[in-house]
Structure 1
Amino acid sequence: MGQVGVSRTEKRQLSRDDVYDILSNQRRRYALHAIKQENERAELSDLAEQVAAWENDKCIQDITSTERHRVYTSMQQTHLPTLERAGVITHDNGTVTLTDTADSLDVYLDVVPGDSIPWAEYYLGLAAVSLALVVAIWVGVFPPSIPSLVWPTVITLLFLVSAAYHVKETRRLQLGAADKPPELLE
């Protein structure tokens, strides 16, 4: 039942609506995460077990046959056909393989843990603090004995450290990067 014409090296352009539709379902996000963890290829039975375990917050060994069957059936009848039509996976004889098109989904998934602020707001705040520092320097709040290169260095280091941390967190929260899907890492 594999999709003809879409190989791992061919990349299909997904519309924004397609991407949002694909990522709108938790089970599909979990499935994509699990496939990425398995070097971009997984058996449907293993995939269903892992997704059922995450959905039920259990170890794979503790899921029931009913939980496993429920996920297996919906994956086979609904979610895999949706992903295959979008060109994100191929599905053949129980083996699910990601295509290059799946890589384009990562940029749309920005997971912000519950105890964090969105990065855009963080950088807006950091820019406001930097501007306040520049204004304070300009009006002479700080003693003139502090060398003039200290302030631009402080501002640059604040942005550099923030950006480095942001890159690290973004990579950690990508589908397939951690043991659990990003939304379960909170």
Structure 2
Amino acid sequence: MGSQAQVESNDSTLSSDEIHELLSNSRRRQTIHVMKRDDGTADLSTLAEEVAAWENDKPVAEVTSDERHLVYTSIQQNHIPQMERAGVITHQRGELELTDEAEELDIYMDIVPKNSIPWGEYYLGLSAFSLALVAAVWVGVFPASIPDLAWAALIGMLFLCSAAYHVYRSREMLLGDDEKPPEFRS
């Protein structure tokens, strides 16, 4: 399909490359986060204050006019035009609004934290462990007093617990699902 393969969606106009480009900048992610959190809209001035507060690790009330102005100018001149061209927001007189295209960005926010393994590798390891366990049960390594169904239940529970935790962690990484964006959470 090439590097310009379209994201699978009925009316999608964003390529994977465009989505990655949009999400590669923290201020664009933070802008999208605030808008998703606040029902799809934001006032540019308020947004700039909040982003400046996160970037300077201080409450909004302590943000200086210079800090707010730097963020405001950057978002207004660089990030809003790029997000408008991509079709994920509309902008009129300082009021921003998400479009339906912005929903496509959620699937790209599955972040692997430091000192962690990617989920695909985790499930590969869990599958290998499960097959090794089945082979050990088959050749009689474990006592016959443990029913075969117990081993199947154990494997099922391992996958169920892993998948539940995976879903929980993935939801934590979504933009707009918490007061702060994922990169500013402890």
| Superposition TM-score, scaled by structure 2 size | 0.90
Name the structure 2 match of 1:181: 181
Q: For 1:166 and 1:28, how far apart are their aligned partners in 2?
A: 26
Q: For 2:103 and 2:15, how far apart are their aligned partners in 1?
A: 14
Q: Map 1:1-186 to 2 at 5 A.
A: 12-186=12-186
1:69 maps to amino acid: H
Residues 106-142 of structure 1 show CA distances to partners (whole Å, capped at 9, x for unaligned) of 1111122224322112112211211221121122110
On the 8 A contact 1:30/1:51 being kept in 2, the answer is yes
Aligned pairs, how many?
177
On the 8 A contact 1:32/1:175 being kept in 2, the answer is yes
Per the TM alignment, residue 178 of structure 1 is displaced from its structure 2 partner at its CA by 1.4
Q: For 1:12 and 1:70, how far apart are their aligned partners in 2?
A: 33
Structure 1, unaligned runs of 5 or more: 1-9
On the 8 A contact 1:42/1:96 being kept in 2, the answer is yes
Structure 2, unaligned runs of 5 or more: 1-9
| Superposition TM-score, scaled by structure 1 size | 0.90
Larger relative contact order (CA 8 Å, sep ≥ 6):
1
Residues 55-109 of structure 1 show CA distances to partners (whole Å, capped at 9, x for unaligned) of 1111111111111000000111110010011000000111100011001011111
1:97 maps to amino acid: E
Q: For 2:167 and 2:28, how far apart are their aligned partners in 1?
A: 25
Q: For 2:11 and 2:30, how far apart are their aligned partners in 1?
A: 22
Q: For 2:61 and 2:128, how far apart are their aligned partners in 1?
A: 51
On the 8 A contact 1:88/1:101 being kept in 2, the answer is yes
On the 8 A contact 1:11/1:100 being kept in 2, the answer is no
Q: For 1:115 and 1:156, how far apart are their aligned partners in 2?
A: 26
Per the TM alignment, residue 156 of structure 1 is displaced from its structure 2 partner at its CA by 0.7
Residues 154-177 of structure 1 show CA distances to partners (whole Å, capped at 9, x for unaligned) of 101110111111111111210011
On the 8 A contact 1:42/1:97 being kept in 2, the answer is yes
Q: For 2:12 and 2:133, how far apart are their aligned partners in 1?
A: 47
Name the structure 2 match of 1:7: none
Q: For 1:85 and 1:12, how far apart are their aligned partners in 2?
A: 14
Aligned to 1:149, what secondary structure does the other structure show?
A: helix
2:98 maps to amino acid: L
